[in-house]
Structure 1
Amino acid sequence: MIKELKEWGKSIGIAIILALIVRAFFMESFIVDGRSMEPTFYNQERVLVNKFIYNFREPGFGDIIVFPYPVEEERILIKRVVGTENDQVEIKNGTLIINGQKVDENYILQGYSGQNFGPVKVPEGSVFVLGDNRNNSIDSRNNEVGFIPVDEVRGKTFFRYWPISNINYFTINTLEG
């Protein structure tokens, strides 16, 4: 009986250590907070984020990333990358324009409410992010957020696991660019 308990204790200890290593270096769970990514993600949904991928490449056009809110570091934001370094980003008459090309945004909740923005050039080592619910999103258009330094990005969303009815695996960028 004692030997069996020791084996169980070892197994549980190893499992905890492995879980901590996975969370620290490979993936982490986040809760979507708010409506800014509707209809892609809804408030209180749970997602897994790949923390390892950006050791091999920079965030790309269409990646859905998580990063700390610059004015409230403990708050994590989830947004879509629409501009990478040296891209020119503009919103004109409700249309997103990247490097002079209109972007078909079939994933957004609704069109822009007549806002114009930019053009701005994304600095080196940074990305420009927008929420999919453009009329209800604090994102790179806001001075508090601005351009997101790549080294501040926590990871790329790759799996929604809650609610169970909305389980979804994100295999590639969801934007055509």
Structure 2
Amino acid sequence: MSSSAANQQAYGRRRKSPYMVAIVLAMVMFILVAPEVNDGDAMSPTINDGQILVVSKTSYSQNRGIPERDQLVILEKNATNAQKVSDDNIIARVAGLPGETVEIKDGKVYIDSKEYITENGIEGSDGEMSVTLTEDEVFLLCDNREEYIDSRNEKLGPVNMRDIKGNVLFCVWPFSRFGGID
């Protein structure tokens, strides 16, 4: 093989290399994350209708780890009881963790008798209820507390952690809201 032919082959490999890296990265990203379009105002003002989010494909269980309080998670529409509440995936905030007691009374939410207010100041809820979560359950709340497509809805109730599709990482659309979400 002549030096010229070898140089051309090396040049061709170097030229194709960025494309191969991009394809491999895209495949890895597809395995680890997914896009999610928010449908509705249940998480307003934190997430608005039509925002496009990037969601990690994280599965939870007592053995694999539990989500953190205040973490925004996606409940798959095909999950147990979720289809009774919504025609789409449900985005909500983890309020109650396994083993805790969630109580709603007098317009406030209490977790183990302590008032629950999110880090960004969202608080309260109407209605009355009390539930103690099992070791495999979490209690989800929407930020727009007028919407009842979360664990307050008796058709959904506390959510088994295995039914959580993943958690919200950041927003990609609209560009004005690009970045992390609290």
TM-score, normalization: structure 2? Answer: 0.77
Report SS of the residue matched to 2:27: helix
* Counterpart in the other structure of 1:77: 90
How many Å apart are 1:133 and its aligned residue?
Answer: 0.2
Q: Identity across aligned pairs (percent)? A: 27
TM-score, normalization: structure 1? Answer: 0.78
Once the two structures are superposed, the pairs formed by residues 25-104 of structure 1 within 5 Å of their partners are 26-52=32-58, 54=60, 57-69=65-77, 70-71=82-83, 75-104=88-117
Distance in 2 (alpha carbons) for counterparts of 1:146 and 1:63: 18
Contact 1:85 1:123 in 2 (8 A): yes
Unaligned runs of 5+ in 2: 1-8
Indicate yes or no: 2:145 matched with 1:158: no
Q: Runs ≥4 in structure 1, deviation > 6 angstroms?
A: 3-10
How many Å apart are 1:51 and its aligned residue?
Answer: 2.1
Unaligned runs of 5+ in 1: none
Contact 1:68 1:74 in 2 (8 A): no
Q: How has the CA–CA distance of structure 1 residues 96 and 9 changed in structure 2, closer, same or farther, with 3 Å as cutoff?
A: same
Contact 1:39 1:107 in 2 (8 A): no
Q: Kindly provide the amino acid, as one letter, of the partner of residue 130 in structure 2.
A: P
Aligned residue pair count: 166
How many Å apart are 1:104 and its aligned residue?
Answer: 2.6
Distance in 1 (alpha carbons) for counterparts of 2:111 and 2:58: 27
* Counterpart in the other structure of 2:138: 127
Flag the structure with larger Rg.
2
Indicate yes or no: 2:22 matched with 1:15: yes
